[in-house]
């Protein structure tokens, strides 16, 4: 017999009774908030446009061009979000094609912007007919097909898997940090969700104060395991609250996730860290151009929330930190929304970050450990957006802006 306070039970049962079916769960994302801006571009991304001449230099010629875009894996969690991001994006798409498996072939996907799209059976030659192809598939699939699509003047491939992230000659890109690396590249890797979210705050602080060490603890939603992970949490919570002796099933996670936290994501490595934790170290160094020995340590924990990852980040800096300057640096940073008002109890949460294009940053304070040369803060970002689909579409936008696509397909 499980004991839970009656108020909590009533609230949770009411919430679960209103949840969509498994097939609908991703479409609504179980979000309680919507993006706050009317356009695709995050509100804070517009800061980048006012601080550089990059757009003015490139868009005059690029606005005349439009591109054929393909999505492989568009019926999965990330793939659906890529399509929805393209719906709101200013990226000049003249045709959107969706490629799927034998099971998905022939299905019709309705799109406000692109009309009715019939899912095509994936074929390398068909994918090569596109200018830009987003891969929202497994690493094994990407390893088998990505280069076949992109090599020999093929399509530009933006891959969401981990297949190519650590290859020296393949750019691993967060557009606000190293977007220029896309020039001349036909295969680009999208970073791990945890890395992409954290770096949105870490990069501007690194430029201002020169980071010396990074310590991170992450609290990652079920969405990190895709739609099956979200479904397992939803169904498992319903099972738990039925007040029977039946235990929630765990086929996706190592243990049942409802009312639990699991301090393991991905496989353990020889050094005692998990691969998910090491991804933060490896990818942060590559994206930011840091030394191979730059100290970055992460502990990754799976928590029973549906969507949006949270991160506690502690940094040691080379320079003394003025907290007012640090706050202003973050407020000026593209893709960042500062939520840090103690009096009003404003701080980042999955509740507010879900469905938002910007990464929320708050709880900013001088570190008690590192003193004037340290900052501690809390970050929250939508794993399926900034941590995946949004970043991928912004890569394509960056390649249009910096002229990389025009040089390839002019």
Name every residue whose Cβ is closer than 8 Å to that of residue 183 and which is 6 or more positions away in sequence: 399, 402, 403, 404, 407
Per DSSP, the three-state class of 214 is strand
Residue 206 annotated in active site: no
* Residue written as token pair 């498996």: 101
**Active-site hit among 206, 298, 309, 380:** 309
Alpha helices (H) in 151-225, listed in sequence order: 175-178, 193-209
How many degrees, rounded to 5, is the angle at CA 195 between CA 181 and CA 291? 60
Give the integer Cα–Cα distance in Å for 154 and 177: 26
Distance set, CA 208 to CA 53, 176, 211, 257, 351 (Å): 21, 15, 9, 39, 30
Give the integer Cα–Cα distance in Å for 191 and 284: 9
Strand ranges (E), 292-385 = 296-302, 309-317, 336-338, 359-367, 371-381
Residue 309 annotated in active site: yes
**Active-site hit among 85, 193, 288, 380:** 193
The conformation of residue 274, written as its DSSP 8-state character, comes to B
Name every residue whose Cβ is closer than 8 Å to that of residue 409 and which is 6 or more positions away in sequence: 65, 67, 131
Tokens describing residue 264: 């393991």
Active site residues: 193, 309
């Amino acid at each position: 017999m499980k004991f839970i306070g009656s108020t909590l039970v009533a609230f949770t049962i009411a919430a679960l009774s209103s949840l969509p079916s498994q097939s609908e769960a991703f479409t609504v994302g179980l979000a309680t908030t919507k993006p706050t801006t009317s356009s695709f571009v995050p509100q804070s991304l517009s800061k980048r446009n006012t601080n550089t001449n990059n757009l003015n230099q490139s868009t005059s010629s690029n606005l005349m061009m439009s591109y054929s875009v393909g999505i492989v894996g568009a019926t999965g969690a990330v793939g659906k979000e890529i399509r929805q991001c393209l719906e709101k994006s200013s990226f000049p798409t003249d045709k959107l094609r969706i490629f799927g498996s034998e099971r998905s072939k022939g299905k019709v996907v309705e799109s406000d912007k692109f009309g009715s799209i019939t899912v095509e059976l994936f074929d390398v030659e068909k994918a090569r007919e596109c200018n830009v192809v987003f891969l929202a598939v497994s690493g094994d699939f990407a390893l088998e097909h990505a280069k076949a699509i992109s090599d020999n003047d093929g399509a530009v491939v933006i891959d969401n898997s981990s297949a190519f992230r650590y290859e020296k000659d393949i750019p691993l890109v967060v557009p606000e940090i190293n977007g220029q690396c896309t020039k001349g590249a036909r295969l680009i890797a999208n970073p791990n969700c945890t890395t992409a979210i954290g770096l949105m705050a870490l990069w501007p602080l690194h430029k201002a104060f020169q980071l010396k060490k990074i310590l991170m603890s992450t609290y990652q939603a079920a969405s990190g395991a895709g739609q099956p992970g979200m479904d397992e949490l939803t169904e498992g919570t319903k099972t738990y609250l039925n007040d029977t002796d039946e235990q929630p099933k765990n086929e996706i996670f190592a243990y049942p996730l409802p009312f639990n936290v699991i301090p393991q994501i991905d496989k353990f490595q020889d050094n005692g860290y998990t691969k998910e934790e090491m991804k933060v170290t490896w990818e942060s160094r590559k994206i930011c151009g840091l030394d191979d020995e730059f100290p970055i340590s992460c502990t990754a924990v799976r928590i029973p929330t549906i969507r949006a990852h949270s991160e506690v980040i502690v940094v040691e800096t080379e320079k003394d930190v003025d907290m007012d300057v640090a706050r202003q640096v973050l407020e000026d940073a593209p893709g960042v929304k500062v939520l840090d008002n103690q009096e009003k109890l404003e701080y980042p949460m999955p509740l507010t970050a879900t469905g938002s294009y910007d990464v929320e940053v708050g709880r900013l304070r001088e570190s008690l450990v590192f003193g004037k040369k340290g900052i501690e803060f809390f970050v929250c970002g939508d794993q399926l957006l900034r941590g995946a689909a949004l970043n991928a579409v912004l890569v394509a936008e960056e390649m249009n802006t910096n002229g990389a696509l025009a040089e390839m397909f002019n």
